[in-house]
Structure 1
């Protein structure tokens, strides 16, 4: 899918976003299309990503299974969004509009246009087919802004999964309801890496990622699954059929498949009491074949992990969950920015957790996954996510500073690596960044500069071409940095410019590295020596 336009007519809890009207260019590339949001901290880049995810969260609630995930589904703000989507190789232009805050579902204005077929009529029940297949959010840190819509989604999805498990007959028609919003952060690294490396078929895209991070293959890992841990609702020390978290038939099948893929699946009496499986995997050809028998792809395997991880929300006490949901609802009616988050479930109480992940590097060394650097973790997470999702049609990627922990060399190849591994895959990606390397690989019509003046936000395209531009020009356009030198050294250079004695300037000149500013000082020495400047 491809975003074309986003308008925010009115919003109470993010006043900076009120009046935003941003056009995204029509892509003609044969690989993933990158829209780059750039600007100083606090200029609203992450807020825009959040609002896009909130819009699709809202539309998902309204149209998918007629709002089964939530009773309260009025629009959180007034907006219009337009995007392209391809279904069975036919391109459609889709738009949704909520003219005012808290628009009711019946009052949503929508239009779906197919080229060469004017007046296309779509029944409301079919609208779900024109929504994104997946909306994938990513943040390199604990970004409160972007994570919130995804956390709301997880809470409701986990709650709904619990209801399906307790009342299977009542909800049996919804057994195929898969997550649409996926949020990737540091906690998802292990599941993504495991899934991709198990299904390593030697394809060029994965090979490219492995070569960059120097990883040869996955050696072994452990997953622990438990549903009757002490924090679980309904916990019974002696176990029993009703103890702990109740699972849907689908989740029980996922666990059964994971057990069948493990040659060392054994439970002792203590494990049975906690309904716990400790599964140790060694990635030999037999184990890899077992995974490929029981799971069709890296994405399906990761989805099994992902759905089990979502159950961690069911560990948290109901009264805590209710208080936080109430605070979230209040946020939608005020300018309140900070919203309490659900407490983190301790590792030993999680429904699913990973450990003891071993990798072989290109030089033959075996290392623990945790010994890799933050940049290597981030590289495997970002590009591993794209690898898993790229064959899914109509995905939208919202990445908040995906290159934060990369070294300059990796920042330099970020966009080129992305395009190389997604040739022939038309998807849309919106990236926030502070890196000139990223901006320099994007055309200026795909770069959006965010500038904040108090409570007013201005979003513009750069006045000059950014593709292939020098960092001097990019820093000037995006961050109003006229001279790309750090503050202390530039201050000292400015002081030297005031000196009239060329010998003093020459004496101090060796304190500085090479730059245009140093060259200007050398020219000043020459001019002073020849008496051309007083």
Structure 2
């Protein structure tokens, strides 16, 4: 998909009613650029609404997903209203190809427009290429079938996958995804009780946390070839996967409150469990638990590739297993989360113990090249640094998505990176998407960032600068190009000055040391020498050089 425009019709967080922003245009030049890698980077000072746009899009597509869904749990239905969304009025436009199109190119795409007015249900329309007045605008229903046995026709025009990630644990961004996990568990639970088949979650929302990141990494290491995995080896020195264990606690799902009737919680996943056993080096099971051990070699990889369709199919299976850990969440807590507007869910969802959870990985050993070691060494995945885990989060999902219409919402993904990694983050994203194959036309990447390094690797048409009017409180979002700011290849000092209004190359505390020099009281050569001594402890910088140059200019005058 490719976003065209977003309008918010009522106040949402920092965004005022009437806020709007443009992404791609429908000019010939812009559409020719769409198949290229061009992430949108949201930049600006704190409180200017960058993250709020990501949050709004997550909330909008969450609402749309459950407007078109054929399944909604009873507890969720109490709080879900098709005519009520947060934000409750919006217009979002994007290009998408319906799933029966063979090629994902602008000429075969439809312009999808979804409009919601205050207190009314959302409405979807599509218009075929070339999107001119001659092309008919067609309404597409967002209502599922009467018997809830099929999703609404509009599902076909929503993204296949919507990925959320926040390195800063943005609760408002994650809330739609948290609700989604609880809904998907209830969907699975009903399938067990009514003995329906269950292949994968109906919703497209996926939130990448530490657990999901493990599943992503494992899936790509088992499926993808060396060329695809080159970015992992180059940046993180990961050579491969040595071994891992899967732990499955064989809990039961109770059919009623009295708990008189129950079924094995893994009942609907029995075919996939049998496939896992075929891939395992060894396995054990009794009436309470099952563990499967995998020593990974080429035969192990082939076994997984023979039994699962793709890395994404394997990931979706792991996703289901992880979502079964929501079994411990009580219905009263679910209702509280479903009704939450995004401020008070933190700490309310219980964290299961190893015995309470249905599934978790153990002894997850990665082969990694470490400088000074003659051969790759085995490291537990949990021993990786926060920055390495962040790299894995974003790289892994890009390697795996391939030919899927995707919207990636990344909130400050570089928080734990050192400056070197921040400088190469955009290039690594590009390398990962190229290595994963597929078409950039299918993927839209939106990221918020305070890093001048990241902004310096983005084209000015794709850097959206957010500014807040202190008098009215309104937010503006304009491209760097509109503001005559050249970003691509621009120095971090220049970007810091023009976008973040910081015109120094050093920190405030050290700069204060320089500002303490009182030039009005420097009368003699000795005063100059003492002034220079007072800043000897400071490192090299442009600011220090300017002070020293000014002091040197005073020496002839003090000698008179």
Matching of residue 165 in structure 1 with residue 189 in structure 2: no
State the Cα deviation string for residues 446-480 of structure 1 (Å, max 9, x = none): 11222345643332333311111111111112221
How many angstroms does 1:248 deviate by?
Answer: 5.8
Secondary structure at the aligned position of 2:422 is classed as helix
Q: Mark the CA change 1:515 to 1:225 in structure 2 (over 3 Å): closer, same or farther.
A: same
Secondary structure at the aligned position of 2:486 is classed as coil
How many angstroms does 1:533 deviate by?
Answer: 12
Residue matched to 1:219: 242
Residue 349 of structure 1 is aligned with which of 346, 349, 356?
356
Matched-pair contact (CA < 8 Å) for 2:72–2:183: no
Residue 406 of structure 1 is aligned with which of 407, 417, 423?
417
Residue 377 of structure 2 is aligned with which of 356, 359, 365?
365
Matches within 5 A, 1:263-274: 263-268=281-286, 272=287, 274=288
How many angstroms does 1:279 deviate by?
Answer: 0.9
Matched-pair contact (CA < 8 Å) for 2:112–2:124: no
State the Cα deviation string for residues 21-56 of structure 1 (Å, max 9, x = none): 011134515443210012233332222111101111
Q: Mark the CA change 1:527 to 1:176 in structure 2 (over 3 Å): closer, same or farther.
A: closer
Matching of residue 129 in structure 1 with residue 156 in structure 2: yes
Residue matched to 1:450: 466
Matched-pair contact (CA < 8 Å) for 2:44–2:499: yes
Residue matched to 1:149: 176
Q: Mark the CA change 1:156 to 1:7 in structure 2 (over 3 Å): closer, same or farther.
A: same
Q: TM-score, normalised by structure 2?
A: 0.84
Provide the C-alpha distance between the structure 1 equivalents of 2:498 and 2:61, rounded to a whole number of angstroms. 32
Range 289-298 or range 521-530, more displaced: 521-530
Matches within 5 A, 1:277-426: 277-326=290-339, 328=340, 331=341, 337-340=343-346, 341-362=348-369, 363-389=375-401, 391-423=402-434, 424-426=439-441
Secondary structure at the aligned position of 1:484 is classed as coil
Matches within 5 A, 1:196-211: 196-203=220-227, 205-211=228-234
Matched-pair contact (CA < 8 Å) for 1:195–1:301: yes
Provide the C-alpha distance between the structure 1 equivalents of 2:48 and 2:137, rounded to a whole number of angstroms. 40
State the Cα deviation string for residues 261-311 of structure 1 (Å, max 9, x = none): 21311224xxx1x2x211111102322221111112111111100011112
The number of residue pairs the alignment matches comes to: 507
Matched-pair contact (CA < 8 Å) for 2:39–2:444: yes
**RMSD across aligned C-alpha pairs, in angstroms?**
2.8
Matched-pair contact (CA < 8 Å) for 1:31–1:419: no
Matched-pair contact (CA < 8 Å) for 1:186–1:378: no
Matched-pair contact (CA < 8 Å) for 1:37–1:431: yes
Provide the C-alpha distance between the structure 1 equivalents of 2:169 and 2:201, rounded to a whole number of angstroms. 28
Residue 448 of structure 2 is aligned with which of 432, 436, 453?
432
Matched-pair contact (CA < 8 Å) for 1:36–1:430: yes
State the Cα deviation string for residues 110-169 of structure 1 (Å, max 9, x = none): 343332761053542532211111111112242212100111111112112211221236
Range 123-132 or range 486-495, more displaced: 123-132
Matched-pair contact (CA < 8 Å) for 1:8–1:78: yes
Q: Mark the CA change 1:198 to 1:35 in structure 2 (over 3 Å): closer, same or farther.
A: same
Gaps of 5+ in 2: 142-151, 370-374
Provide the C-alpha distance between the structure 2 equivalents of 1:176 and 1:94, rounded to a whole number of angstroms. 26
Residue matched to 1:491: 512
